[in-house]
Amino acid sequence: MMGREPQDDVIVVDDLVREFGDFTAVDHMSFRVHEGEVFGLLGPNGAGKSTTIRMLCTLLRPTGGHARIAGYDVVRQASQVRQHIGLVAEKLILYDRLTARENLRLFGKLNHLPEQVIDERADYWLDRLQMTRWQDHLAGTFSTGMKQRINIARALLNMPRVLFLDEPTLGLDPQTTRSIREFIMELHKQGMTIILTTHMMAEAEMLCDRVGIVDHGKMVALDTPGGLKRLVSDNGRLVLELEISNLSESMVRDLQALPEVASIDHESATSLRLHAQPGEGGSTEVLSRVIAAIHADGGRILRLSTVEPTLEDVFLKLTGRAMRDEASEKVAPRRGHWRRAATRVR
Amino acid sequence: MSEVLGASKGRELAASGLEDRRHGGGRQAVADAWVIAWKDILDFTRDRMRLISFVIMPIFMMVMTGYIFPNQNSLQNMPLAVVNQDQGPLSRMIVDALNKMTLPAGGGQARQGMAALGEAGPGKTASRSRSGNPVFRIQPAGSLAEAKELIKSGQANGAVFIPRDFTRQVGQGKQPHLVVVTDQANLQISSMLSSVLDQFLGAMATQVGAQKVAPLLAARETAPGPRASAGASGDGGSAGAVPGEGLLQMMAGAMQQAYGGLGAGGLQRARATVQPFVVRIEGIVPGPPNYFQFMAPGIMAMVVVMAVMMGLAGAISREREIGTLDGILIAPINRLSIIIGKTISQSLRGLVQGAVVLILAILLFHVKVYGSIAWVAGLLLLGIFSFVGLGILISAFATEQETAMTILMTLQFPMMFLSGAFFPVQQMPTFMQGLSKLVPLTYAIDGLRKVIILGAGWSAIQTEVLVLTGFGLAMLLVAIPAFNRVITR
Ligand SMILES: Nc1ncnc2c1ncn2[C@@H]1O[C@H](COP(=O)(O)OP(=O)(O)OP(=O)(O)O)[C@@H](O)[C@H]1O
Ligand SMILES: [Mg+2]
């Protein structure tokens, strides 16, 4: 994946800026996406993910910088760009009073596909998304999950070189979320280039080859999920979770006394979280010392696990803020500058 | 690309699509516009509520305007206070004639005749049943103050006050004042009342004037008859009259024919002289058919233009709000196709709505289209065209449907009145007349009136057609670039 030639990059974003009045939603962002890659934009609400996507989809004019999709400039060659992209936006692009198939036919025609081709492709995608039996029902009668499937089929109808997915699993139940994610993985296997935004760490970790972490309109880190995690763990920190049935104060004190142990969080009466800084012996050394210390105090270990750093930890480390707290209060996207100050969640 | 689908089926599909990625060209733009229009219409026909209100709205509009404005029913049994302080025959005759004024019973085409003044003789009440419903219900009152009280309390819609010595003063050529009191709180009724009374009294004066001739004719045929009976019947005022001079003589003639003891032959002749002066209300008092003939084109143009503007601005800002516009905007189509497509679908809706109005007007209100239906449709389309730009402009700047609707409502109200849809522009103050010339709807309505009421063709509506086209083009020249700029801010 790494070290490719620049001409392989389907998406080239160069110093992209978008301002709304005196507010900068996207702040000098640069990145490249290779052909066949699933690229994640991860960030809390209001980070500027959607704004970036909308600029790449020619729906929003950048106030600075450049972007190219499949070699075409998103501003000067917008109509060529449009031929190569598919978009699953934050809001459903679907007409409630048209049936699933009518919706597909409409957008197929707007993409200048012959009717026969539209029908073949519609059949194909409806089948793959398990929506064939619902094709003649009005989209308005569908559940959110069903709507999203048709919405995805619509975006794929013109066989785009680049598929943009802006929070594709937002508001879906766990089961639908899983099947949509599996579908994205299938598309990935078949070589489609996908840009995906999410504020869910797990999703980015599961689906993306590379992840750009976006905060306040800036890309604060860009690497593979593993690489990003190493940002945290390579620092040498080791996190252990322990469950001890007869956990006592003296046991905690003894653990604390170990030279490698940095801090201990009491999680409950029987469990604790231990942060350690391995010495020359590495993590193995730390593990055996910890276990020995507990045994010396007659402790019975029910569970011991090393805690892998997540992207969440990465975000915390990079921005100094936890991401989950902010992501929990999702606000409706607002336009109009006068309400901006009141509704922006940062 | 083919590896995307993996399966050979997919490879085929992908290959077959590559050919068709080209876009642009006028024909393609029109085809795209039709796709959007088709979508809009399909979408619209599936919304039962909108479909219902789409038909109900013009019906409502028509029926409301048809019935809130004065019509024949309000011309029946209007309570009228009459204060007659004069004891002369002239005043009695006026009161009597007011009493007997009737309208034909059947609605239908206006054949409203007013009972002939000449028939206003005692013992001729049979004529009332023949002609239909009385216009006035006379409420005798003792004084002007009392009459005004009656109006205030709602027991009378107006009053006629005949001062003391009215007959005598007329006889002396002194032009006494006959006072008509109207109720300012009830403008419609009072304007109707004063117009009826105006006509009636005017006709009376004409008739009295015409009587000049009658005695002369009568004198030739039946020797001194009239003159002799003038002395006999003329009590009070007419007693001191100088024969052959001025009004008195005319009065005498009138009196004689109304009350005089002429023989059957004489009465017949008298009728003949009076008959040419029968007063008819037809065409002057606003009866429903005529009034509607005037109203229908205005309502039609307004309903259609408003529906299209609302539809256009509403549809675009709605699609923007719910997000589907993005789907259209990322399709490789010309932005103009979006505007044209939306305009086509809205115009079709507008035309159907216009047809509903016209059919209702014809069936319910007996409106007759004298000109060609093609011109009616053409002018409606031009009216729509003249507003398309404005609709697009609004939708481009209003990011939410609600905003668009608020702007439209604000525009709609003054336009309704400035365009002369309800009230003739000619009745407005000069300043307002000038303003109304800035509203394209005015021209659409003017043109439609000419075609529908006057049966006008191309030569008579050239100006309107040109102005509407000009307005439309100018608006689009502003709106299209603005739309293109604003829509992808
Ligand atoms: N049209 C607009 N006018 C003014 N401000 C805007 C506009 N669009 C977006 N913004 C602001 O730009 C910032 C970035 O918004 P954006 O939608 O890109 O965030 P996001 O990362 O997609 O967040 P979310 O998770 O909520 O979708 C927000 O603070 C938003 O209020
Ligand atoms: Mg977003």
Query: Tell me, what CATH number does A183's domain have?
Result: 3.40.50.300
The alpha carbon of B76 and the centre of ligand 2 are apart by a number of angstroms equal to 69
Name the residue with the closest Cα to ligand 1, atom 24.
A45
The set of residues, in sequence order, having a beta carbon less than 8 Å from that of B264 and lying 6+ positions away, is none
| B324 vs A90, A94, A117: nearest CB | A94
Confidence label for A263 from pLDDT (cuts 50, 70 and 90): confident
Q: Which atom of ligand 1 is nearest to the CA of A330?
A: 26
Neighboring chain B residues of A112 at a CB cutoff of 8 Å? 20-23, 28, 332-333
- Looking at the structure, tell me whether residues A173 and A79 fall in a common domain: yes
Residues A147, A166: Cα–Cα separation, whole Å: 15
B37 close to A (CB below 8 A): no
Is A152 within a domain? yes
Angle at Cα B10 formed by Cα B6 and Cα B16, nearest 5°?
Answer: 140
Q: What SS3 state is found at A275?
A: strand
* Chain B nearest CA to A224, separation (Å): 22
Q: Which atom of ligand 1 is nearest to the CA of A47?
A: 21
- Looking at the structure, tell me whether residues A144 and A193 fall in a common domain: yes
Is A328 within a domain? no
The alpha carbon of A139 and the centre of ligand 1 are apart by a number of angstroms equal to 28
Name the residue with the closest Cα to ligand 1, atom 26.
A45
Q: Nearest to residue B380, comparing CAs of B358, B352, B351?
A: B351
| A112 vs B14, B322, B332: nearest CB | B332
Q: Inspect the interface and report whether the beta carbons of A83 and B23 lie closer than 8 Å.
A: yes
Q: Nearest to residue B188, comparing CAs of B105, B65, B102?
A: B65
- Looking at the structure, tell me whether residues A259 and A179 fall in a common domain: no
Confidence label for A55 from pLDDT (cuts 50, 70 and 90): very high
Neighboring chain B residues of A57 at a CB cutoff of 8 Å? 326, 330
B5 close to A (CB below 8 A): yes
The alpha carbon of B372 and the centre of ligand 1 are apart by a number of angstroms equal to 55
Is A4 within a domain? no
- Looking at the structure, tell me whether residues A178 and A263 fall in a common domain: no
Ligand nearest to the CA of A213: 1
pLDDT recorded at residue A345: 40
Neighboring chain B residues of A59 at a CB cutoff of 8 Å? 326, 329-330, 488
3-state SS record for chain B: CHHHCCCHHHHHHHHHHHHHHCCCCHHHHHHHHHHHHHHHHHHHHCCHHHHHHHHHHHHHHHHHHHHHCCCHHHHCCEEEEEEECCCCHHHHHHHHHHHHCEECCCCCCCCCECCCHHHCCCCCCHHHHHHCEECEEEEEECCHHHHHHHHHCCCCCEEEEECCCHHHHHHCCCCCCCEEEECCCCHHHHHHHHHHHHHHHHHHHHHHHHCCHHHHHHHHHHCCHHHHHHHHHCCHHHHHCCCCCHHHHHHHHHHHHHHCCCCHHHHHHHHHHHHHHCCECCCCCCCHHHHHHHHHHHHHHHHHHHHHHHHHHHHHHHHHHHCHHHHHHCCCCCHHHHHHHHHHHHHHHHHHHHHHHHHHHHHHHCCCCCCCHHHHHHHHHHHHHHHHHHHHHHHHHCCCHHHHHHHHHHHHHHHHHHCCCCCCHHHCCHHHHHHHCCCHHHHHHHHHHHHHHHCCCHHHHHHHHHHHHHHHHHHHHHHHHHHHHHHCC
Neighboring chain B residues of A334 at a CB cutoff of 8 Å? none
The alpha carbon of B448 and the centre of ligand 1 are apart by a number of angstroms equal to 49
Q: Which residues of A touch B (CB under 8 A)?
A: 57-61, 79-80, 82-83, 85, 87, 89-95, 97-98, 102, 106-107, 109-114, 117, 120-121, 124, 138, 154, 158-159, 161, 187, 189-192, 335-336
Is A315 within a domain? no
Q: Inspect the interface and report whether the beta carbons of A58 and B399 lie closer than 8 Å.
A: no
Is A164 within a domain? yes
Q: Inspect the interface and report whether the beta carbons of B13 and A120 lie closer than 8 Å.
A: yes
Q: Nearest to residue B342, comparing CAs of B320, B357, B358?
A: B320
pLDDT recorded at residue A336: 39
Please report, for the domain that includes residue A275, its CATH number.
Answer: 3.30.70.100
Residues A126, A101: Cα–Cα separation, whole Å: 9
Residue with tokens 């979508």: B39
Residues B169, B176: Cα–Cα separation, whole Å: 6
Is A339 within a domain? no
Name the residue with the closest Cα to ligand 1, atom 18.
A48
Residues A214, A315: Cα–Cα separation, whole Å: 9
* Beta-bridge mates of residue A12: A32, A68
Average pLDDT, chain A: 85
* Beta-bridge mates of residue B159: B81, B181
Q: Inspect the interface and report whether the beta carbons of A61 and B488 lie closer than 8 Å.
A: yes
Alpha helices, H only, chain A? 49-56, 78-83, 100-110, 115-128, 144-156, 174-189, 201-207, 225-233, 249-257, 282-296, 311-319, 324-327, 340-343
pLDDT recorded at residue B274: 34
Contact present, B358 and B370 (Cβ < 8 Å): no
pLDDT recorded at residue A67: 94
Lowest mean pLDDT among A30-34, A285-289, B220-224, B417-421: B220-224
Q: Nearest to residue B486, comparing CAs of B324, B343, B322, B339?
A: B339
pLDDT recorded at residue B110: 31
pLDDT recorded at residue B410: 86
Residues 332-351 of B with CB under 8 A from A: 332-333
Alpha helices, H only, A190-257? 201-207, 225-233, 249-257
Pocket test for ligand 1, best of A22, A26, A45, A220 (most atoms within 8 A of CB): A45
Q: Nearest to residue B354, comparing CAs of B376, B374, B387, B369?
A: B376
How many other C-beta atoms lie within 10 A of the C-beta of residue B152?
11
* Chain B nearest CA to A293, separation (Å): 56
**Above 0.85 for ipTM, yes or no?**
no
Q: Inspect the interface and report whether the beta carbons of A91 and B326 lie closer than 8 Å.
A: yes
Q: Is B106 exposed, middle or buried (0-12, 13-18, 19+ CB in 10 A)?
A: exposed
Q: Inspect the interface and report whether the beta carbons of B13 and A58 lie closer than 8 Å.
A: no
Strands A72-73 and B136-141: unpaired
pLDDT recorded at residue B104: 53
Reported as a single tens digit per residue, the pLDDT across A110-144 is 999 999 999 999 999 999 888 889 889 998 899 99
- Looking at the structure, tell me whether residues A55 and A201 fall in a common domain: yes
Residues B170, B163: Cα–Cα separation, whole Å: 11
- Looking at the structure, tell me whether residues A53 and A96 fall in a common domain: yes
Name the residue with the closest Cα to ligand 1, atom 2.
A335
pLDDT recorded at residue A114: 93
Q: Inspect the interface and report whether the beta carbons of A158 and B47 lie closer than 8 Å.
A: no
The set of residues, in sequence order, having a beta carbon less than 8 Å from that of A7 and lying 6+ positions away, is none
Strands A271-276 and A238-244: antiparallel
* Chain A nearest CA to B409, separation (Å): 21
The residue from A180, A203, A224 where one domain ends is A224
Q: How many domains does chain A have?
A: 2
| Sheet of A238-244, strand order | A261-266, A271-276, A238-244, A301-306
Q: Is the pTM of this model over 0.90?
A: no
Q: What is the mean pLDDT of each run of 10 residues along chain B (489 residues)?
A: 42 40 67 91 85 80 66 65 84 80 48 32 36 75 85 80 81 73 65 67 63 52 39 33 38 42 40 31 36 78 84 84 91 89 89 85 78 87 88 81 83 80 73 82 86 78 88 89 77
- Looking at the structure, tell me whether residues A237 and A162 fall in a common domain: no
**Burial letters B59-96, b for 16+ CB under 10 A, else e:** eebbeebbeebbbbeebeebbbbbbbebebbbbbbbbb
Neighboring chain A residues of B9 at a CB cutoff of 8 Å? 124
Is A77 within a domain? yes
Whether the predicted pLDDT of A215 surpasses 60: yes
* Chain B nearest CA to A141, separation (Å): 13
The residue from A182, A207, A224 where one domain ends is A224
pLDDT recorded at residue B156: 82
The alpha carbon of A197 and the centre of ligand 2 are apart by a number of angstroms equal to 8
| B39 vs A79, A93, A106: nearest CB | A106
- Looking at the structure, tell me whether residues A237 and A105 fall in a common domain: no
Give the residue on B whose Cα is nearest the Cα of A94: B324
Give A2 or B481, the one with higher predicted confidence: B481
Whether the predicted pLDDT of A241 surpasses 60: yes
The alpha carbon of B454 and the centre of ligand 2 are apart by a number of angstroms equal to 60
Whether the predicted pLDDT of A343 surpasses 50: no
- Looking at the structure, tell me whether residues A213 and A64 fall in a common domain: yes
The set of residues, in sequence order, having a beta carbon less than 8 Å from that of B259 and lying 6+ positions away, is B89, B121, B122, B233
Whether the predicted pLDDT of A103 surpasses 70: yes
Domain with A260, as residue range(s), is 231-306
- Looking at the structure, tell me whether residues A105 and A125 fall in a common domain: yes
pLDDT recorded at residue B139: 86
Q: Inspect the interface and report whether the beta carbons of A114 and B333 lie closer than 8 Å.
A: no
> What angle, rounded to 10 degrees, do the helices at A174-189 and A144-156 form?
20
Q: Inspect the interface and report whether the beta carbons of B23 and A87 lie closer than 8 Å.
A: no
Q: Is B458 exposed, middle or buried (0-12, 13-18, 19+ CB in 10 A)?
A: exposed
Residues A159, A118: Cα–Cα separation, whole Å: 11
Q: Which atom of ligand 1 is nearest to the CA of A337?
A: 4
Contacts by B122-131, CB closer than 8 A, 24 or more apart: B122/B259, B125/B100, B127/B100, B128/B100, B128/B102, B131/B102, B131/B103, B131/B104
The alpha carbon of A3 and the centre of ligand 2 are apart by a number of angstroms equal to 30
How many other C-beta atoms lie within 10 A of the C-beta of residue B32?
24
Percent of chain A clearing pLDDT 70 (strictly above):
89
Whether the predicted pLDDT of A78 surpasses 60: yes
Neighboring chain B residues of A191 at a CB cutoff of 8 Å? 3-4
Q: What SS3 state is found at A141?
A: helix
Q: Nearest to residue B378, comparing CAs of B444, B459, B473?
A: B444
The residue from A224, A244, A266 where one domain ends is A224
- Looking at the structure, tell me whether residues A208 and A269 fall in a common domain: no
Q: Inspect the interface and report whether the beta carbons of A190 and B322 lie closer than 8 Å.
A: no
pLDDT recorded at residue A183: 93
Mean pLDDT across the stretch A97-117? 93
Is A58 within a domain? yes
Whether the predicted pLDDT of A318 surpasses 90: no
| A112 vs B9, B23, B46: nearest CB | B23
- Looking at the structure, tell me whether residues A147 and A64 fall in a common domain: yes
Q: Inspect the interface and report whether the beta carbons of A79 and B24 lie closer than 8 Å.
A: yes
